């Protein structure tokens, strides 16, 4: 089993067994004062650009509906786990 800890866009930690590893820590910014900060938007820019390019080039996007649904499922599992305090296994 593994666990993610995401704290207010400040870091992402991965817990496995008894150990935790910081796997992502973005540059700091005030997301309330700068909701459109390039730092906040950067992780999404490539996916959005590929989606636009796929329409223009009449090809499937690199990240399609199947992957998008998996991401939504992971988010739903995170919410269920936070609400229940229990481990939520995938697939739902």
Element (H, E) at 74: helix 65-84
User: Are residue 81 and residue 53 in the same domain, yes or no?
Assistant: no
User: Are residue 41 and residue 13 in the same domain, yes or no?
Assistant: yes
User: Are residue 80 and residue 52 in the same domain, yes or no?
Assistant: no
Tokens of 81: 């786990």
- pLDDT of 9 higher than 70: no
Q: What is the DSSP letter of 25?
A: -
Higher-pLDDT residue of 10 and 55 is: 55
User: Are residue 53 and residue 68 in the same domain, yes or no?
Assistant: no
Element (H, E) at 22: strand 19-24
User: Are residue 50 and residue 11 in the same domain, yes or no?
Assistant: yes
User: Are residue 51 and residue 16 in the same domain, yes or no?
Assistant: yes
With CA atoms as reference, report the closest residue to 75 among 88, 56, 85, 61: 88
User: Are residue 19 and residue 46 in the same domain, yes or no?
Assistant: yes
Its pTM stands at 0.56
Range(s) of the domain holding residue 6:
2-60
- pLDDT of 55 higher than 70: yes
């Amino acid at each position: 089993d593994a666990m993610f800890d995401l704290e207010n866009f400040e870091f992402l930690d991965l817990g496995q067994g008894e150990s935790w590893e910081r796997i992502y820590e973005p540059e700091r910014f005030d997301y309330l004062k700068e909701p459109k900060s390039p730092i906040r938007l950067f992780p999404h820019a490539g996916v959005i650009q590929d989606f636009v390019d796929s329409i223009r080039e009449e090809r499937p996007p690199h990240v399609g509906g199947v992957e998008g649904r998996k991401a939504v499922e992971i988010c739903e599992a995170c919410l269920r786990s936070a609400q229940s305090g229990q481990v939520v296994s995938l697939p739902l």
